Amino acid sequence: MLRQALRLFSLQAPCLLIALAFAFSARSLADTTLPALLADHMVLQRGLPVHVWGMAAPHEAVSVAFRGETKSATADDDGRWSVFLSPGEAGGPFQLNIKATNTTTLNDVLVGDVWVASGQSNMEFPMTGLVTAQTEISAAQYPKIRLFRVDHKPADYPLENVSSKGWAVCSPETVADSSAVAYFFARNLQQKLGVPIGLIETYWGGTAAESWTSLHALSADASLMPVFAARAKTLATQSTTVLHRQREDREYEQAATQAKADGKPLPERHWHPDFAAWAPTALYNGMIAPLTPFAIRGVIWYQGEANSGPDRAPLYARVFQTMIRDWRTAWGEGDFPFLFVQIANWNTAPDALWPEVRDAQRQALALKNTGMAVTIDIGDPDDIHPKNKQDVGLRLALAARAIAFGETIEWSGPLYRQVTQEEHALRVWFDHADGLAAKGAVLTGFEVAGTDGKYSPAEAKIEGSSVVVSSATVPGPVSVRYGWAANPSCNLVNREDLPASPFQAPE
C-alpha cells in the first residue's frame, strides 16, 4: 500500500511542482511594484498633483490612499498603472498606501519642494572633497532635506526606472557622497523657506550637454546635425581608441609599479571620457527620462566644461537651450525654474573655448524663468574642480528665491544689457547694476576693438548703472568684451558683491 502511494506521488509530483510554480509566478506577476523614486522618506512636490505609478498584473485594480484621499486605477494590457491625487501644502510626515493584490506602504513621506541637480563633475563634486569637509558633514543634520542619488546608467532608449539606493534623510551619515553644490543650495532654501526639500541628484562627470538631451529634441533641429556627425567620427575610430587606451593603461601600471618601488609619487593618470556616456541622448534616456513622471519645483545645473572644445563650443548655445526646452516639455509642467552655474575661471588648454561657453550660457537667460550663478571670481586657476561650493550653492539659492518664489532680493551680478556709442568710447549698460563697483582699486577686464576686430585693453569708468570704456590705441571702438579669457582678471561687482558675467558685444 505504501509502495503504491509513493509510486502515485512520484507520478504526480512533477505536475504538482509545475502547478505550484505557476501559482507562485502568477502571484508574483500580480504584486504591484513601484519605481525607485516612490519610496520611504521621499519628498513630493507641494502645489502640484501627486503622481503615483507602477506595474501590476494586466487589468488589475489598484488603489492609492494619501492624506485622506483615495484614487483608483486599472492596469493596462502591459501592466502599467497611474494615479493622480490632489495637490496639497507642505507638511508631513505622511503614509502613502498602494493596494492591489498586495499592499505597499510608504512611510515618512514629506511634501515640500523637489529639485533635480544635474550636470557634470562640478555638480557631482562630493561633500568629502571640500577643504572644510569634516566640519560641514558633521553639521549636516537636516531631517527635512532628503537625498535621492541616481546611479550612472546610459541607455539607447528612454527607460522607465532608474537605478538608485532610494531616498535618504540628510545626516552626517548620508550626506558625505552627495553633491556639495546641491547640498548647500538645499540647505539655504530649507533654512529660508522652512519647507522640506527633496534633491534628486543625477549627474556624471565629464559629460556633454547633448548626452543629456532627448533624441527627439536633437533630431528636430537641423542645425544640431553636427552632434551626430561628431558621434559618427568617434565610432569610426573607436576600435583604435580602445587599443590606445589599453596601451596607456599598461604603461601607467608599469610606471606606477616602478614609482612605488622607488618610493616616488604615483604618476598622473590620463583622463578619458566615458564612451557610452558621451553618446547623444544616452544620459537623458537612462538618467532623466525615468524621472519625468515625478513632479518637481525646478532644476539646478552645473555643466559646460565638456562642451568647451573647438568642435563643441560653437554649438553650445543651441544645444543648451534645446536641452532646457526639452526637459520642460518632458516634465509637462510649463517653464519651471532652470538655474545653472556659469563655468568658473581656470587655466585650461589653449584650444579650449571657455569664454565662448560662458557667453553661450549667458545667452540662455533669454529663456523664461532661467537664472545663472556667475563663478568667475571663485574658481581655482589650477584646478578644474574649485573647492568653494558653498558660494555656488548660495548663488543658486538666491536665484531660486527670486525666480521660483518671488522674493524681492538681488540674486545676480551685473548682466550685459546693451552698448551705445560715445565719442571715441563705448558705454556698456547693465541689469542688476545697483551699486556698480570695482572689487579693487582699478576696474579691470574690459577690452575694445575697432572694425579690424583686434581687441586692446580698455580703460573703464563706472557711471551709474553703466561703464564707459575706451582705449588710446582704438580711437573708433565698435565692440567690447569683458572677462574674455579662460582665467581672466576682472572685478566688476554690484552692491551685493555679486560678480558681473563675462560677455562680448555686440552679440
Lowest mean pLDDT among 36-40, 269-273, 317-321, 502-506: 269-273
- Average pLDDT of 170-175? 98
Which set of grid coordinates corresponds to residue 104?
Answer: 505597499
DSSP alpha helix (H) spans, 263-389: 282-283, 313-331, 354-363
Cα–Cα distance for residue pair 392/102, rounded to 1 Å: 45
Range in 11-15, 45-49, 108-112, 193-197 the model is least confident about = 11-15
Mean pLDDT of all residues in the chain?
A: 94
Taking only the tens place, the pLDDT of each residue in 381-407 is: 999 999 999 999 999 999 999 999 999
CA distance 372 to 361: 8
- SS3 per residue for 134-186: HHHHHCCCEEEEEEEEECCCCCCCCCCCCCEEEEEEECCCCCCCCEHHHHHHH
pTM (predicted TM-score): 0.93
Reported confidence tier of residue 269, pLDDT bands at 50, 70, 90 = confident
> What average pLDDT does this structure show over 167-180?
98
Compute, in degrees rounded to 10, the torsion defined by CA atoms 248, 251, 256, 258.
Answer: -170
Distance CA(411)–CA(458), nearest Å, equals: 28
What is the pLDDT, as a whole number, of residue 25? Answer: 41
Mean pLDDT highest for which of 7-16, 234-243, 334-343? 334-343
Confidence band, pLDDT 50/70/90 cuts, at residue 349: confident
Q: Is the separation of the CB atoms in 213 and 319 below 8 Å?
A: yes
Q: How far apart are CA 137 and CA 135, in angstroms?
A: 6
Structural domain spans, the chain: 29-221+280-412, 415-505
**What is the structure's pLDDT at 24?**
37
Residues above pLDDT 90, as percent of the chain: 91
Dump strand ranges (E) for 162-261. Answer: 164-170, 197-203
At 17-57, the pLDDT tens digits run 444 343 334 444 458 999 999 999 999 999 999 999 999 99
Distance (Å, rounded) from C-alpha 329 to C-alpha 264?
Answer: 54
From 1.10.274.30, 3.40.50.1110, 3.40.50.720, 3.40.920.10, which CATH number describes the 29-221+280-412 domain?
Answer: 3.40.50.1110
CA–CA separation, 348 and 354 (whole Å): 8
Report the distance separating Cα 405 and Cα 260, nearest Å: 55
User: What pLDDT shows up at residue 31?
Assistant: 85
